[in-house]
Amino acid sequence: MSHQNIAIEKTRTALVFIEFQAEWLTENGILFQRLIQDKDAFRTAVTNAELVLNAARKVAWTIAHAGLDLRDDPKCLVFAEGKDVLGLRAAIPKAGTWIGSGAAFIPPFVPTDGEFVARGRSGASVLKNSNLDAFLRNNRIDTIILMGFATHVCVESTLREAHDSGFNVYVVTDACAAFTRAQDEYFSQHILHHFGAGITAASLVKLLNNGDAICAS
């Protein structure tokens, strides 16, 4: 499947940073420790995302930060405290993630003035039950470019829901990381093209520097 000539226009596009928070980005983060097996691949993804972030800030592209933050709901009432629910809704309360310092954004991914921080998110997809969708719609953004963690969990759920909701979605494949390199490769080979398209951090940085209207190959 080729995607030539679909424009990525600055005024209609947002970069979405998914979970650049301490739970993943610090050496003692619970998720980094327990889940990330290919730690070098993970660190490379962070570095690449930083390159994109810096380029985007220089040219004032729209940036949204979509973390998970349960510090105001430490019992995870939103997930019924993990009782009688399957999946992440049970796993998160059990692991005790996102309710403390693990929810902090880590420099340089700390939101700055003019950057949007999604609130209310309570699913793997950062669009589900969050005000990110409202932000995007109200700002007439129809294209999103995703980075973050983990590729095959929250990034992929966002990709899938965004596709179904009518967004064009690009995934910066080397600015995301799954638990293993093999999972990242599987995602790129078997999943991504059904719902969007991939782009490398280097290509994206180049495009950001080019200015207003760009095309993906």
Residues that bind a second copy (CB under 8 A): 1, 3, 6-7, 72-73, 75, 77-80, 84-91, 114, 116-125, 128-140, 142, 152-153, 156-157, 160-161, 163-169, 183, 186, 190-191, 193-197
CB of 156 to a second copy, least distance (A): 8
Q: State the Cα–Cα distance between residues 53 and 15, nearest whole angstrom.
A: 9
Query: In the structure, how many helices (H) and strands (E) does the chain have?
Result: 9, 8
Nearer CB in complex with a second copy: 48/168: 168
> Order of strands, edge to edge, in the sheet holding 143-149?
116-117, 62-66, 13-18, 143-149, 168-177, 197-199
The DSSP secondary-structure symbol of 188 reads I
Dig out the tokens for 99 from the structure.
């309710």
* CB nearer a second copy, residue 78 or residue 106: 78
Least Å distance, CB 16 to a second copy, is 14
Q: For residues 30 and 51, which CB has a smaller minimum distance to a second copy in the complex? A: 30
CA angle (34, 174, 148) in 5-degree steps? 50
Least distance in angstroms from the C-beta of 109 to a second copy: 16
Strand partners, 148: 18, 176
Nearer to a second copy, 209 or 213 (CB): 213
Q: Are 205 and 51 in contact (CB under 8 A)?
A: yes
Which tokens belong to 125? 């997809």
How far apart are alpha carbons 180 and 147 in whole angstroms?
16
Which one, 53 or 159, has the nearer CB to a second copy? 159
Tell which residue, 200, 210, 199, has the closest CA to residue 6.
199
Q: How far is the CB of 203 from a second copy (least distance, A)?
A: 16
Closest approach of a second copy to the CB of residue 202, in Å: 21
Task: Tell the smallest beta-carbon distance from residue 140 to a second copy (Å).
Answer: 6
Query: Considering beta carbons, is residue 51 or 197 the nearer one to a second copy?
Result: 197
**DSSP assigned state of 105:** B
